[in-house]
Structure formats: structure tokens, C-alpha cells
Amino acid sequence: MTISNYDTQSQRLNQLTLANLPSEIDVPTYDRSQLKAGIVHIGVGGFHRAHQAVYINELLKTPGSEQWAICGVGLFENNRALNDILAEQDYLYSLVVRHPNGQIDNKVIGSMIDFILAPDNQQSVIDKLAHPDTKIVSLTITEGGYNLHPATGEFDFENQDILHDIQNPNMPKTAFGYITAGLKQRKNAGLPAFTVQSCDNIQHNGAVARKMLLTFAKQQDPDLSQWIADNVAFPNAMVDRITPITTDADKAHVATTFNLNDEWPITCESFAQWVIEDNFSNGRPNWNLVGAQFVKDVTPFEKMKIRLLNAGHSVLGLLGSIYDYNTIDETVSDKDFAEYLRAFMDLEVTPLLDELDGINLTQYKDTLIERFSNPNIKDSLSRICSESSAKLPKFLIATINENLAAGRDSSLAILVIATWCLYSDKQVNQANVKLNIQDAMHSELAKFAQQTKNDKFAFLQINSLFGNLHKQESFSQIYANAIDALYSENSDIKSIMKKTLAQKDNQTTPEKI
């Protein structure tokens, strides 16, 4: 690692100005000049810098862990600003950890020692992946980065960047193109394979990464695909830490508290969880020493998290957005929303979950409510609702389908789906304020939702999202009632929630809401 020679009077966060920080700020105590990048991470967003990079930062304080530092990779031109900021700051950044009781932990994270902007030098990324020091290639590339076709769930060969990478293996654009090129170079050099470790919020994320990578590689080089299948490990993992988008207020806090200028600090909640299947190709860090949990099978843990936390976020996000709330904490601080959320978790999700070693579900749900209520984490509902088309099939619709198959009522979740229709149709809240909707399927969602006035089941005709839900009477009757209530004149989402919850408590035949 090269340490930049900055003027310390500028007070820009970098290696030299670390010494100027107040003693109460937690800074790297290890010798960063002696670190090696054993991990190459593709997709350096806020979550990675609040989660995996923090686990590594803590582990690097333990002697003997120097080979597990991180080299970040930005695949796209829009990563240039981050690339420039990190380079100027010697890849250091500040982390502001906000507890529910108002306590704030201020840290500087030093686990990243390099960053490569792929559009500037594709071969340098491939060479880094193929370097003997690289033992793990980790990913936070979001659901969309795995290139699943929305209708089939299979690899999408219609993606133009994928077609480019298949035809131009030495000039890749996508994560799969780069990983395949790096593995090919390792295979040809007789080096062991690295582990591909997904840190994305996807159920069975390692299995998904494996399936997609092997499908891609087979089109490019069948022999290499077989070598990857035989040699590369893809551990599944469950990751969790609420990490809002950095705001100007966060930057101002760092400037005041640290007396330094950090152009891209990260803020997060105090809770963090990482459950990882102990399956690695070429060694791994001892993350269990700093709070991670290694298990044989992560499936029940990730189902718990996706169906409770992620679905809970979507419940609050959609219902709260229509009501005219802006953040998760203000929404769940309203007792009506908190009661609705807890009933959803207790009555519609918990019966579907498996037993989990070391997890008390009642305490876990209590903790979720506390985390959501954290007034120091202003997680916007617009962020929570972004890309709902990619999230809700896994987070919420899967729960509905399982309950329907078991003959159980799912009216609380069904109201959320109906609210999503209203959200996509009107695109304003009940105070007539325009909603900030961000979704790759935004146009299609709006097109179908806007037909609801003439056909209350129109929104459900998006088969890639809903399948045949509208054909199931136990779903359609409840959904129709919810649509009638939401689209009635002067409808109030809170009143509809209360009536739905009361009906749930009575467990009666659905009546008009």
C-alpha cells in the first residue's frame, strides 16, 4: 500500500492526519503498510463499508491477520467519485455507529488498502483477482447484479453487457465476466481457486452466485466452467446491518467530532449480524473471533432475517409511505404501525420459520422493533421501497404463498400488496404529496396498477411477480376487499390497517374493510 503525502494542515482524513484525531475516536492500531489484500470486494457501497469491512477492521487488530485486508473494485463509471475520494483518503473512512439510546461510537476503518476503478484498467482488476494473495472475492452487487431473468429466474442472456463479456473475455464489464477471467488466469498459472463470497441480501446467495457464474462460464469456456465447479466454494451467508444513505448531516457530524474532512463517511446502527457457512476454497479469516457465526447450514437464519426484517421493512415502507411518513423510525414509533408489524411477524411469519440454534425468536423480534425505532438512524422509506419488484417476491410474496398452501390466513401481508398497487398507481401519498419511487420495473408496475379502477386484479397480472395468486380464492377475496377500501373516497390507511388487524384477531370470514 502506498501512503499519500498530504499536507496535514488541510485536515483531510488520511493516514497522516490519523494522529490528529481525538483519543476517544477508535482508529486503526495495526500497521496498515504491512497489510495484504487477501479479499477483493466487488461493489463497495455503504453496506459493505458498514459490515464486512468493519468485521475485517476488528480482526486486523489481532496479530496474524495481516493477509486479510481488502482491495475494492468499482465496476462502473459512476464509482469514480468514490474511487477518487478513497484514494485521497488513503482508503480510510469514518464510521458513525448510532445506538438506540443516543450513544454514538465514532471510528475510522482501515481495512481497505486499495481500490481499482475497472473502466480505467480492466486488466488490472483481472490481475488482482488472479494474484496469489487473493483468497476471497466477495460481492455486494445487489439483486440486479446476479443477472437473473425476472420471469424465469434463470441467467439472462439478453443482457447486452453479458453478451459482450462472453464474446470479449479479456475486456469484461460485469462481475461474472471479471471473476471468470480471474479464475481462468489462476487456472492457467496453476494457482488455487479463490472463494466467491456473496454478501448480498439474497436467500441462498452463495448458491445463486454459483449457479449464475457456472452458467456464464459454460458459455465462454466449458472446461473452465467445470474447473470452477470442482474448485470454487460459494458459501451461503446471512448479513444484517441497517445502513442509511450518507447525508450532509453525517458529514457535518464527522467534521465537528473528528475535526477532519471525510467526503464519504458511513453511518449505521449498532446491531450487526453475519452468519456464514464454513465452506471456503483457499482459507478464510477467523471472523468468529469478532462476532460472526460459522454454521453448517445458513438456510434457517437467512429465512428468519428475510421474512422478518426485510419483509418488516417493506410492510412499514409501503404502508408508512401512503400515510405520509418519511422514515422507518417515525413510522414504527406510531403504535398502530408497530402493532400491525408485530402481528404480521407473530401471526404470518413465525409459524413458517424453523428452529434456530442460539436464536430466541421472541427476543429477535423485540430487537427488530427496537432497531426500527432507533431515532438516530433516519432510514428513508423511499430507500426501503426502492426496487420493491426485486424484493417483495422473496420478502413477502413467498410468505403469502406458503401460508396459502398451508391453509392459513395472510390478510396482513395481502393488504401490503394491495397498498403496493395503490403506491404504484397514484404515486402520491394520502396527503397528495408525490412519492419518490425508484424501481427498475416502475413503468410496468404503473401501467398495470393504473388499470385497477376498471379491473381490481389488474396489478396481479404481472406474472413474473405474482404468478397465479389472483386465481386463488383465499387470496383474491381478501385482496379485492383491500383494494375496495384503499380506493374508496377519503380512504385512510391507518383505519384500514386497524380494521384488517381486528378482523385478523377475530379470525372470521373476510368482510368488507
Question: Domain segments of the chain: what residues?
Answer: 8-295, 299-506
- Residue 8: pLDDT above 70? no
Output the pLDDT for position 375: 92
Cα-based distances in Å from 101 to 25, 278, 374: 19, 35, 8
Given a contact cutoff of 8 angstroms between Cβ atoms, the answer to whether 420 and 484 are in contact is: no
The DSSP H or E segment spanning 47 is helix 46-50
pLDDT at 358: 80
- 10 Å CB burial of residue 216 (0-12, 13-18, 19+) is buried
List phi, psi (to 5°) of 141. Answer: -115, 10
The overall average pLDDT reported for the chain is 94
pLDDT, residue 357, reads: 80
Write the burial class of residue 221 (CB in 10 Å: 0-12 exposed, 13-18 middle, 19+ buried): middle
Model pLDDT for residues 261-303, shown as the tens digit of each residue? 999 999 999 999 999 999 999 999 999 999 999 999 999 999 9
pLDDT classification of 213: cutoffs 50, 70, 90: very high
pLDDT at 18: 93
CATH topology of domain 299-506: N-(1-d-carboxylethyl)-l-norvaline Dehydrogenase; domain 2 (1.10.1040)
Angle at 408 between CA 504 and CA 496, to 5 degrees: 30
> What mean pLDDT is predicted for residues 499-509?
79
| pLDDT for 6 | 36
How high is the pLDDT of residue 509? 44
Mean per-residue pLDDT, 449-475: 94
Cα–Cα distance measured from residue 385 to residue 397, given in angstroms and rounded to the nearest whole number = 15
Total-model pTM:
0.85
Supply the pLDDT for residue 507. 65
Q: What is the pLDDT of residue 150?
A: 66
Average confidence (pLDDT) over 415-432: 97
Q: Is the pLDDT of residue 510 over 50?
A: no
Q: What mean pLDDT comes out for the span 59-78?
A: 97
pLDDT band at 7 (very low <50, low <70, confident <90, very high): very low
User: Residues with Cβ < 8 Å from 380, sequence gap 6 or more?
Assistant: 244, 245, 326, 327, 328
The CATH number of the structural domain formed by 8-295 is 3.40.50.720
pLDDT at position 97 is 97
